[in-house]
A = this chain, B = another copy of it.
């Protein structure tokens, strides 16, 4: 990953600012002959779209994606796919007073220090709006995976909001799309609605933990040592705005385990090796095991809040700042489809890299 490009064979370069004319991305290295239209991408963008409930920003953006290149007569041609999303709701006046102030928790001050200049309108390049481009690219990755590896399923959901975690015993995948939090625990979802509403009304915000799981990923993806599947997932998730931690499998909790507990024992199943547990999160030595790939990441609370915070401005004056505007009380909600998109891109990139190096041939175990 370097600058605004990620991926090695399936490469995504994003561009655009929150309040410029448009944002978008170039998807390069896409396999040819994959059916693709805007209609394949739009549902993923709609999932991330602002303004779908009172728990996300009220900014109104249709987030309509256009394919400008790389697709001909309904299929990918193997050439770069340009995806563009026009910005339509650019109420720049909402942000006028932050032109010279540095909002705490935001990248205002670091962009200013690094570049000496910044687009202050809505955070400019550092806005979460950039993640729409990732979701569009993820849609392309999903379309390719559907052809090359149809068994792969990618699902993201929220497992913790603020101090409130889900109860894993109530986990119901069918519930994920039934509440505004992508929460698989219906009881938690109900509680979170009140919890978040209270925070919102008290001019506050809160963090979250998102889990993204990919099932159906075959053994053998990942390119050790510095292109490990988990290493690339860590970079991908950490690159999402507001993410402060990434876990694979048991993650931080694995520190508290003993070797006896942590060993994912292996038995021989009808279709090959079977693991009796998945502390590893589906990755050993940077290479997928065939078990579900499990990745979690923590999203910090939205920094834009209506409670005044102490800060400075460009002239070095100390001020108290309220960040007006239309903000998500829990930006983690909209990070769910973004995390899914990054998972899709990383897995596809590794699928292509693996078949480049090994031809996709797998080592035999038993009479496989």
Contacts and interface: CB of A to CB of B under 8 A. Distances in A.
Contacts of A116: 32-33, 358, 361-364
Interface stretch (A44-52, A184-192, A218-226): A218-226
Contact of A226 (B109, B124, B239, B267): B239
A220 B298 contact: no
A147 to B, nearest CB: 10
Interface string A26-40: 101111110000000
A109 B299 contact: no
Measured as residues with beta carbon below 8 angstroms from the partner, the interface class of chain A is 35 or more
B255 A208 contact: yes
Contacts of A280: 105, 244
A14 B279 CA distance: 28
Nearest to A277: B104
A112 B358 CA distance: 12
A266 interface: yes
What is the count of identical protomers in the complex? 4
Interface in A324-338: 332
Contact of A238 (B223, B248, B287, B317): B248
A155 interface: no
Nearest to A199: B258
A17 B300 CA distance: 40
A254 B298 contact: yes
A68 B21 contact: yes
A63 interface: no
Contact of A254 (B222, B244, B311, B364): B244
A268 B318 contact: yes
A214 B94 CA distance: 37
A366 to B, nearest CB: 2
A360 B115 CA distance: 9
Given A1-B227, A287-B114, A312-B273, A264 B105 contact: yes
Contact of A311 (B125, B257, B266): B266
A201 interface: no
A187 to B, nearest CB: 19
Contact of A251 (B8, B76, B267, B298): B298
A356 B273 CA distance: 26
Nearest to A125: B79
A249 interface: yes
Contacts of A105: 259, 262-264, 280, 284
Given A209-B252, A357-B31, A258 B15 contact: no
Interface-centre pick from A8, A160, A276 (highest chain B CB count, 10 A): A8
Contact of A258 (B13, B80, B204): B204
Interface in A302-343: 302-305, 307, 309-312, 314-318, 332
Contacts of A355: 355-356, 359
A275 B307 CA distance: 18
Contact of A124 (B72, B314, B356): B72
A236 B73 CA distance: 31
A367 interface: yes
Contacts of A287: 107, 110-111, 113-114
